[in-house]
A and B are shown apart, each in its own frame.
Chain A
Amino acid sequence: MAPDLRTSAAALVVTIACALVVTVRALRAPEPQAKRSATAAERLEIAASIASSEKEWMDEARQHFPEDHWSQRDDFHALELRRIVEMVEQKGVRVEDALQAIDDDIHRKGARDPAASDERYARAVPCKPRPFYD
């Protein structure tokens, strides 16, 4: 059956009104309150806290996923996430500042080539999802 394309003015008004209300409300939704930027000292503290725990996290991840490098690294990052969230919430600072601080710290030495030593687990471990998760 072919659709009846006769329009009702009232129906059109309702549709447009709905679309407008949704659009306007979405656009006028309040901006989230931005957290403050971390101070230089806080950045150093966050970076140091992460750096000091990395070895322990990697050992833990190796125990969770023996012989599975990608899963180990993924688990390592899950543990890192927990610490980052804990610290940024405790200090009330932006998560991006923590990420930047960690990255700056990791980049501080500045490796020159792929074969350089990798104490900070900065070398990529190619993505190899487990064949099932549950």
Chain B
Amino acid sequence: MGRFAERTAVRIALFALIATALVWAMLPWAAYTNEFRDAQVMNLYERAAVDTVRRFGELPLWNPWYCGGLYGLGAPQSRFASPTFLLSLLFGMERAEPLVVFLFAILGMEGTYRWVRLRVNDATAALRVAPLFALSGYFSVAHFRGWTNFFGFELVPFVLYGITMAARGRTSGIAVASIAFAVMLGFGGTFAAPLVAVAAVFEAIRAILEQPPRRRLRAVVMLAALASFMAAVAAVRLLPLAETLVASPRIMAGTPGHAPKKIFEFLVRTLEARDGNVTDAGMFFVGGGFLALVAFGGAERRSISALIGVVFFLWLAAGYSRKPSLFAILRELPVFSALRYPERFLWLAILYGCEPAANALAKLPRLGDGRRWRVVTSTILTSVIVVTIGVQIAIFADVGSSRELGVVAVDEAREFRQARGNRWLAAHHQGIGLGSLSCWETYPVIMSPKLRGDLAAEEYLLDPDAGTAERVSWSPNRIVVRVSLKRPTRLLVNQNWHPGWRSSVGVVVDDDRLLAVDLPEGEHEVTLFFRPTSAVAGGAVTLVALGSLLLLAIAARRGRVPFRRAVALRTGALVVAPWITLGAFVATWSEPRYPPPQQRNANGTPALVSSAPMDARPAGFRLDFPIVVEAVKIRPPDALKNVTFDLYLRRTGPIPRLTGMFVHVRRRPGQGPLPPAEPDKPEPREFFNADHQVVGGSFFLSDAPEGQLVHDAFGVHVGSAAPGEYDVWLGFGHVSGRKWRARVEDSGGAPVENELVRIGSFVVP
């Protein structure tokens, strides 16, 4: 059996059969669109990219159909920057999807086999465990929710395989890891890059320590080259992504965490679709049999490093529920601060668990004597694996059959225009040429408040009396407008501005984030075109990196060991070449940069101000904590029964990221009992909570500029409040509300309870 398992063609055939079984239930519905809310956006991105290439013959750099226009290549969740886009181009987005899942499932199994096989002697054992990661529960979740880009995670084993191979001195490892990472990143997913970075660091340390001491320096040098190539080959995607996320960073607060019982349920319970979504239990289904194998194999000495990996990633997956929290430490790092779901580290725990599981499969049959024992044990263990794979496939089919499916009607004849739109039906808008200004994304998309979904014309003059503007032609990356002007004025285009927009006439300007061109008087045919430097520079760096990799591979085939003294200079030059290319672009970069993000409250008011308004009441209390509350304004319930708060405060010293502001609205005691609930109305309440950690959804309290007056505006709906007088209490402390609270040193005469100061009152009639 072992020699069959070692044959690549045999393995791929077996994996292809399993992948066929996996997608089988998808195939009859291949022409349908997933209508799940997130799928609307993912599908819109892919459809927009296909349309841009097929209908307009352009690269899908700019996507005008969503949020008023955004940088397609820089959108973290778009997936067209990978070879699988060819399938979407050929067959259409919907029909390409099962093919993409089929391909990635095979790659996931083959990658897992190769990676596990590096440290497990038994090829059949590695072959048997390989599908368990590639079919694990979260891929069913991704399928249900239309998160097709999450299938890129199937390439993680190849990245880890490449890292170990490179540490062992093999040039092919650099190529495998770099290309796998670039494809994964091109295929989208906000989580792929940071998760892979953590796994890559762990794997690199493990691979270096496995080397004999005299070879460790070589391993470090090889891995440094690998890291350089990983970034350089992915540059075509990495630079636009970096540009987007630096200009509009994602803020993620909270202290998510999972108790061991919940993590166990993630792994062993069966995933189900319920109430239009999937259950938490079973999200990472690999089955109890797999866990037993991991436990048994983990007891072996050779599995120790992998087992450390399992524990490490389980620890991360527990989030804030484990003390100390590794996840909390990770979130202190810049790129990782936006990580949201710690449980996704279970993916890596499962992957690292494959190695001890394979060791258990290899060892258990050898524990007893005689052929009969070996055959019976092997059969039982293989049956456990086969049953688990069967259950995984059944879950994928079952959950998939519960998807809400629909069809997107296409009308290519309609001219593009922005609509008010609806992000819950975004893909349907794109089909009929409408852009949806209703926008949801995982990061704050930079949008102009001047965008409108009811304009008489999409291109118009700031000064309508200065002349006329008429659209000549339109495509996503190129807009031609005939303009006749009696005097200079500004041409406004109903799309977002981006530094990559250029004009054949006049000067492109950022008009409150709206795309605009300042034009001189006269007759002009203005051609606006989108050519962002980050895409051009990233593309050039990627091409040079791929060329360098090719030369490195050719040299390796000729027997040259990279970084050996005779060829060290040449290898070094190949590693550096992509960065020299990038340096040349940086030196000549003339494109404007996005201005710093505007710090605003969720109601649009500025979050950083110079003084409190006159009608705000001074707050006279002092804390043993570097926060000073200067003024407070509380507006009593309005016609909609909303109470609004404006707090003016300063951070006067460093405070922890997990500092929360506690705002409790509580009915004053001694006003009699709560009235009974009226029929069909909610129970009357006497407590409302407005605790938060982030000012206006824009920045953590801890990141407020020191000494600067912060305006924090928020509201509470008190529609269900029992009538009476209510007090508003304010305090600061650990966001969980349990660990610590800032002590009130001087309340200025205001009542204090549990280190909360009463800052005001209002009446609910």
Contact = CB atoms under 8 A, between A and B. Distances in A.
A51 to B, nearest CB: 11
A56 to B, nearest CB: 11
B693 A131 contact: yes
A30 B694 CA distance: 49
A122 B434 contact: no
Nearest to B68: A124
A45 to B, nearest CB: 18
Given A4-B8, A22-B102, A111-B454, A103 B419 contact: yes
Contacts of A134: 254, 256
B453 A122 contact: yes
Nearest to B101: A22
A80 B13 CA distance: 49
Contact of B444 (A3, A23, A107, A127): A127
B422 A80 contact: yes
Contacts of B464: 112-113
Interface in B316-344: 340
A69 B8 contact: no
A99 interface: yes
Contacts of A110: 454-456
Contacts of A78: 424
A22 B409 contact: no
A100 B423 CA distance: 15
A107 B254 CA distance: 41
A95 to B, nearest CB: 5
A15 interface: yes
Given A5-B8, A11-B9, A68-B603, A29 B429 contact: no
A94 B451 CA distance: 27
A120 interface: yes
A92 B657 CA distance: 52
A18 B20 contact: yes
Contact of A7 (B7, B96, B437): B7
Given A95-B425, A103-B420, A74 B117 contact: no
Interface in B1-18: 6-10, 12-13, 16-17
Interface in A100-117: 100, 102-103, 106-107, 109-114, 116
Contacts of B61: none
A23 B602 CA distance: 48
B762 interface: no
Interface string B636-663: 0000111110000000000000000000
B524 to A, nearest CB: 21
What band does the interface of chain A fall in when counting residues whose beta carbon is under 8 Å from B?
A: 35 or more
Given A12-B13, A95-B425, A132-B253, A126 B23 contact: no
A26 B9 contact: no
A122 B452 contact: yes
Contact of A19 (B16, B31, B253, B432): B16
A11 B10 contact: yes
Given A66-B717, A114-B514, A95 B428 contact: yes
Interface in A1-51: 1, 3-8, 10-12, 14-15, 18-19, 21-23, 25-27, 29-32, 34
B442 interface: yes
Interface string B729-753: 0000000000000000000000000
B16 A66 contact: no
A1 to B, nearest CB: 7
Contacts of B698: 128
Interface in A55-78: 59, 62-64, 66-71, 73-74, 77-78
Nearest to B70: A127
Contacts of B411: 96
Interface string B412-423: 000001011111
Contacts of B438: 73-74, 77
B701 to A, nearest CB: 12
Contact of B95 (A27, A77, A121): A27
B157 interface: no
A123 B9 contact: no
Q: Which 3 A-B pairs have the closest CB atoms?
A: A66-B715, A110-B456, A67-B715
5 contacts: A3-B114, A95-B406, A107-B456, A126-B513, A129-B444
Given A26-B95, A96-B432, 14 more contacts: A1-B118, A8-B13, A18-B19, A18-B20, A32-B406, A71-B602, A80-B422, A99-B429, A111-B454, A112-B464, A122-B420, A123-B451, A124-B437, A129-B441
Interface of A: 1, 3-8, 10-12, 14-15, 18-19, 21-23, 25-27, 29-32, 34, 59, 62-64, 66-71, 73-74, 77-78, 80-81, 84, 94-96, 99-100, 102-103, 106-107, 109-114, 116, 118, 120-132, 134
